[in-house]
Amino acid sequence: MYKIFVNDNPFVIADVSENLPSYPGLKIITESESPNAMIHLKELESLQHKAIAYVCTNPTDLFQKILKEFIMIKAAGGVVFNNHNQVLIIKRLGKWDLPKGKIDPHESTEHAALREVEEECGIEEIKIKRLLTYSFHTYKQQGYRFIKQTAWYIMSSSWQGKLQPQVKENITEVKWVNWEELNISDMDSYLSIKDVLQQVKGAD
């Protein structure tokens, strides 16, 4: 199963054997009904639907085909836990988010993830535990279609110093929240970020 977030609305590519996620307003379309998947992805661009699941025989091939319709931008970020089982979240442009950013030229994905967490949160002593997942979201700019691929890592930190939001990146707050008490569904956040956090919950 693959998920591409378009205007933060999910476009799910799955085969018939997979259980589809329960997104509100999910419209299910099969390959036999409509062989051109991009038509339906564009429906999300124009906000005609909230969520679409496209069921096909070969999700991997279709996903790779769709990627070729976009200019790829690569980014990396982290889901950081401290010694008290608290997770690090940031408020960016009024929404709760996770630290992430674009990978610099000649920079490794892992280094970019660590750097972005450090810069956006003012935190040190961070270690990568493992790769969690990749997320994909699209946007239009100056007539071009872009897709951002973000590599997400589960990280740990023993940092007990003061957190410092990176204001120039529109971050106004950084805080630790208790992981066990975090209600992901009720967070004022993006669906794509909630999806990443739910994958962490599933991996617990």
Same domain, yes or no: 6 and 55: yes
Question: How do residues 57-107 score in pLDDT, each as one tens digit?
Answer: 999 999 999 999 999 999 999 999 999 999 999 999 999 999 999 999 999
Q: Residue 4 has what pLDDT?
A: 97
Contacting residues for 74 by C-beta, under 8 A, at least 6 apart? 102, 103, 109, 148, 149, 150, 151
Which residues is 16 bridged to in the sheet? none
Domain edge (last residue) among 44, 67, 90: 67
Per-residue pLDDT, averaged over 23-49, amounts to: 92
Q: Is the pLDDT of residue 204 over 80?
A: no
Same domain, yes or no: 83 and 170: yes
Q: Which DSSP letter does residue 47 get?
A: T
Question: How do residues 96-145 score in pLDDT, each as one tens digit?
Answer: 999 999 999 999 999 999 999 999 999 999 999 999 999 999 998 888 99
The residue segments making up the domain with residue 154 are: 74-203
Q: Residue 104 has what pLDDT?
A: 96
Confidence of residue 46 (pLDDT cuts 50, 70, 90): confident
